[in-house]
Structure formats: C-alpha cells, structure tokens
C-alpha cells in the first residue's frame, strides 16, 4: 500500500541507520541514568533502526524483555545480524503508525530520532500512551530547529547548486565543500581519506541521514511540549538540560525583572536559545488525562 511514509521507509531500506555508532557516548550520558532506580521489565524501542541503541538498552537492563520495531526490513536484518544470540531482543518489522493496541505492555518506550520523520505523529504518541503502564516512561528525541540551522543552509546551498540532478555520491562530495565554505560551525563531514569500512560506513550513513532524508520536521521545545501534552503526556525533563543552569548574568537579569526561574519552562526555553541543540530528548510520563 502506498502511504505518506513510503519515501522514508524506502530511504531507510537503502540506507539503514545508524550502523555502528554510539553517538559519542550519548546513550550513556543522557538515557542510561533515566533507567536506573526504576523497575523496568518490558521495553519497546520504537524505530530501532540497526539496533545500536537497542543493544545499549539491553546492556543497561539485562533482565528486561525488549521489543524493537522498525519499518525498514534491511535495518531489522542488520540489527539481528549485529545482536549476539545471548542478548534478548525481539526485533520486528512494523510500521508505528499502524501498531495494534497493546495496553499496559511496556514500562519504558524509547523513540530516538523517529517521530520527526512521521507526518502525523499524534496517533503514534497516543498508542505509546496506551502501551505504557500508568507510571511508565517515554523518552523521545526530536529534531530542534535552533541547532539544525546550518544543516538546513547546507541542504539549501546544495539545492541551489542543482544537487537534485547529481548522484548521491557526487552530492556528498559537494556537501564537504559546502561545509568548508560555511565554516567551522557547520556540522558533519564526509571522511574522504579513511579506508576502513568501520569508519566510513557509519560516517556516510550519518551524512546521508542528515542531508538527504526525504521527510522530517523540526520541533521547538514549545512545539514538542504541546505535541506531547495534547496526546496524554507531560514533559518531566529535557535530558540535555538536566542539571544545567543559566549563566549568572542571565539569572541576574531574570531576577531583576521579577521573573521566576523555579518552574523549568523559562529556563528550558532560554537554554534552547543559548545552547542551540540539534535535537532534544524529552522524558515523558502520562499526564493522567485520557487520550
Ligand atoms: C534516524 S533513524 C533512528 C534509529 C534509531 N532509533 C537510532 O536513533 O539510532 C529513524 C528510524 O525510524 C524508522 N521509522 C521511521 N518512521 C517509521 C515508522 N512509521 N514505523 C517504523 N519505523 C519508522 C526508520 O526506518 C529509521 O530506522
């Protein structure tokens, strides 16, 4: 059946992701601490790709039953191939937008870098809500526009230079030149000198995912919050901002203007502008409101 997701699925069918990266210790720094001191028996990794992070969940929660789903068959095959038989992960090919209801099945749902590729994520989020036990945890990471501005500039430069008529490999070489031209703040870089597959493949997949994805959208913190809140969740933490304080000068200005920094929302919105994240991980629990 043709659906609006087909281009995204075809894209990940051809370019399974992330293929051998731990995102520079991201999981260990931001996600693993949220899983400690919680009783987590059943996990869903929703949009697991090649399972690199799923396997980290399995290491962190060796006794949990872990389901991992993705609509890209080649990603699931790569995930299975990379998972030792001793690791207990059930991989499935399936589309999150048509998941059957599975009430109270999971204590933790992880959805890293997926919802922003789905045109209508609201039913998916409501399904997550129904699938979680009442005190369950959802962690979802979404693209943020503040830190992706230079990625968008590279994409636009490539477009204006007629990139669409070139092969993917030719465009990847052009991207290197564009990044160079934009200066050191532009993210990513195609490694051209390295020979070994272990370095080249994850690097290439990252570049392709970053610059050539057929569908995505960005969510400001406020937009993400409203998306989750209108679908039965509340944001309990923005993981990249956990324990982060505003610079003294800004705290002082807020104080002088009588603004309270006790609730986290103003602090989060200021940190978003100051830190310009490429994406943010939201820790969410049920708001108690029916969905
Ligand atoms: C950027 S990758 C993230 C993979 C993994 N979560 C990670 O962060 O390493 C996005 C993944 O979401 C999957 N995906 C996107 N839309 C989906 C949908 N509607 N149903 C199932 N999987 C989907 C893609 O196939 C792809 O593997």
List average pLDDT for each run of 10 residues in the chain, which is 291 residues long: 76 93 89 96 98 96 97 98 95 96 95 98 97 97 95 94 93 90 69 70 88 96 98 97 95 95 93 96 87 56
**Whole-Å CA distances, 228 to 11, 47, 90, 141, 253:** 27, 18, 27, 12, 31
Determine whether the shortest distance from the Cβ of 67 to ligand 1 is under 6 A: no
Characterize 150-170 residue by residue with b for buried, 16 or more Cβ atoms within 10 angstroms of its Cβ, and e for exposed: bbebbbebbeeeebeeeeeee
Report residue 8 as tokens. Answer: 């995204």
Q: How far apart are CA 253 and CA 31, in angstroms?
A: 32
Q: How far is the CA of 124 from the centre of ligand 1 (A)?
A: 13
Going from the C-alpha of 209 to that of each of 160, 203, 240, the distances in angstroms are 20, 10, 22
Ligand 1 centroid–CA 49 distance in Å is: 5
> Measured from the CB, is residue 114 less than 6 Å from ligand 1?
yes
Distance in angstroms (rounded) separating the CA atoms of residues 120 and 256: 42
Pocket probe for ligand 1: among 12, 26, 47, the residue whose CB has the most ligand atoms within 8 Å is 47
139 C-alpha to center of ligand 1: Å? 14
The tokens for 286 are: 């049920």
List C-alpha distances in Å: 38 to 32, 108, 120, 251, 258. Answer: 11, 10, 31, 33, 38
Ligand 1 within 6 A of CB of 131: no
Q: Given this model, what pLDDT does residue 216 score?
A: 97
Global pTM reads 0.95
CB 178 within 8 A of CB 151: no
What number does CATH give the domain 7-146+218-243+271-286?
Answer: 3.40.50.150
Cα 231 to ligand 1 centre (Å): 20
pLDDT of residue 203: 83
Atom of ligand 1 minimally distant from the CA of 18? 9
Predicted local confidence at residue 2, as pLDDT: 46
Give me the pLDDT at residue 191, please: 64
From-to residues of CATH 3.40.50.150 in the chain? 7-146+218-243+271-286
Question: What pLDDT score does 22 carry?
Answer: 77
Q: Are 192 and 200 in contact (CB under 8 A)?
A: no
Q: Specify the pLDDT at position 40.
A: 98
Taking the centre of ligand 1 as the mean of its atom positions, its distance from the CA of residue 33, in whole angstroms, is 23
225 lines ligand 1 (CB under 6 A): no
Sheet containing 132-143: order of strands: 89-93, 65-70, 42-46, 106-112, 132-143, 279-286, 233-238
């Amino acid at each position: 059946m043709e659906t609006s997701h087909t281009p995204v699925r075809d894209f990940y069918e051809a370019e399974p992701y992330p293929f051998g990266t731990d995102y520079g210790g991201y999981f260990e720094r931001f996600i693993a601490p949220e899983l400690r001191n919680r009783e987590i028996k059943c996990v869903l990794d929703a949009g697991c790709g090649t399972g690199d992070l799923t396997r980290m969940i399995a290491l962190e929660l060796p006794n949990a039953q872990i389901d991992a789903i993705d609509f890209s068959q080649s990603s699931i095959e790569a995930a299975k191939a990379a998972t030792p038989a001793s690791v207990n992960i059930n991989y499935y090919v399936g589309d999150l937008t048509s998941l059957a209801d599975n009430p109270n099945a999971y204590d933790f749902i992880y959805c890293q870098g997926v919802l922003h590729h789905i045109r209508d994520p609201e039913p998916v989020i409501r399904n997550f809500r129904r699938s979680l036990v009442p005190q369950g945890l959802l962690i979802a990471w979404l693209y943020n526009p503040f830190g992706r501005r230079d990625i968008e500039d590279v994409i636009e430069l490539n477009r204006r230079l007629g990139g669409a008529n070139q092969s993917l490999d030719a465009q990847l070489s052009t991207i290197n030149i564009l990044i160079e031209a934009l200066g050191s703040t532009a993210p990513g870089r195609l490694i051209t000198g390295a020979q070994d597959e272990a370095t080249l493949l994850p690097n290439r997949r990252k570049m392709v995912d970053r610059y050539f994805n057929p569908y995505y959208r960005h969510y400001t913190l406020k937009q993400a919050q409203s998306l989750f809140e209108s679908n039965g969740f509340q944001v309990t933490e923005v993981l990249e901002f956990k324990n982060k304080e505003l610079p003294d000068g800004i705290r002082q200005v807020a104080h002088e203007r009588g603004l309270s920094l006790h609730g986290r929302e103003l602090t989060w919105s200021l940190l978003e502008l100051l830190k310009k994240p490429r994406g943010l991980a939201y820790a969410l629990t049920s708001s108690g409101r029916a969905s």
